[in-house]
Structure formats: structure tokens, C-alpha cells
Structure 1
Amino acid sequence: MNTTFDTFRQQRLAEGFDEVLEREWAPLTVLDTHTHPFAANALVSRGEMWLTVGEHTRHLLAGDTFELDANVPHAERYGTEGAAYWVARRNA
């Protein structure tokens, strides 16, 4: 990964996101289908995860990105080492 959290944060705030934070997940965490009231733009910074939206599942590794619109049902599963990602949120 060629970026820092500070660079990620500054870029996302300039794009209109209003909150930027790092989320850490314990090994083998599973989050069943849920939604969030905010749009998200994220960069996996450590570990691996699987993100399922509808019938489509993506396997994400450090350096991969993902985006979700607000209120989109999705599920998350984290690998044996856990994971972390930086996420910018655009609250409604």
C-alpha cells in the first residue's frame, strides 16, 4: 500500500465525506446481512475479508477498496488474522 491513513483521510474529506476512521475486526468475525445509514468508501489496510452484496461476494486483501451506498444490505466475513480497513463515511 502506497498511502497513509492521513493521506486517505485528507482525500476523502476533500471529496465530501464527513467522517473518516479505522475499523479493526477480530479473527473470524462474521456479520450477517445488515445496512448502514451512511455511504462508505473504504480501503483494506490489513488482513482479508469477504464482502457480500446480493449474490456477489468479493474477497478483499490489503490494498483493495470497496464502496457501499447508504442502506445497501450486505454481509461481512473476516479472515483468520482478522482485518482492518480505513473507511470514509458520508452521513445522510
Structure 2
Amino acid sequence: MERDEFINALKSEGYAEIATATRDANGTVDDHVHSFEAKALILHGELAIRIGAAEQVYRTGDVFHLQANESHSERYGPEGVQYLVGRK
């Protein structure tokens, strides 16, 4: 999915806050939750999200979705990751 198409989709789905996030290479974040729902498009790099025992790896062009208060951990690839995220 292209950036502009993704932004339009976010807006139509009610995501009022849209931002770009950049994370450093090989970084990690232990289990945590967000008080908001998030949907993001990977612009560059790699991000692995673990929910429970399942880990999913997202790469450039992939979209991930997290519910509000969904416990998860994050691991960033060797080039880090940059993603466009909508929050609601």
C-alpha cells in the first residue's frame, strides 16, 4: 500500500492522529500496552511484534494493527524501522 492511500484509509476509519515513528536498529521494547488503537504502514526496515506466544514480522509495505490495551513486545530489525501510524 502506498503512503497517500494509507493516510486516506486511516482518515476514513476514524484515525484522527497520524504520525511517523522511527526506531533504532536492533532495539527492543518489553511487554507493554497503549491506551489507543494503532494501525501502521511500515515505510522502511523491519518490526517484529509479539503478542503472547505468537510473533509476526512486518517489513516495508506491510500493515500492522493493534487494539487498545493489547499487551505486546517489539523488536526492530538491523536497519531499524520507520512507520506511519494512525492512533484512535
TM above 0.5: yes
- Runs (4+) of structure 1 exceeding 3 A deviation are none
Q: Which runs of 5+ in 2 are unaligned?
A: none
Q: Which runs of 5+ in 1 are unaligned?
A: none
Percent identity, please: 35
- SS of residue paired to 1:33: strand
| 1:71, distance to aligned residue in structure 2 (A) | 0.3
Distance in 2, matches of 1:24 and 1:15, equals 23
Task: Give the AA of the match of 2:38.
Answer: A
Distance in 1, matches of 2:5 and 2:22, equals 19
Distance in 2, matches of 1:57 and 1:19, equals 26
Structure 2 counterpart of 1:11: 9
Number of residue pairs aligned between Structure 1 and Structure 2: 88
| 1:7, distance to aligned residue in structure 2 (A) | 3.4
- Structure 2 length as normaliser, TM-score? 0.93
- SS of residue paired to 1:37: coil
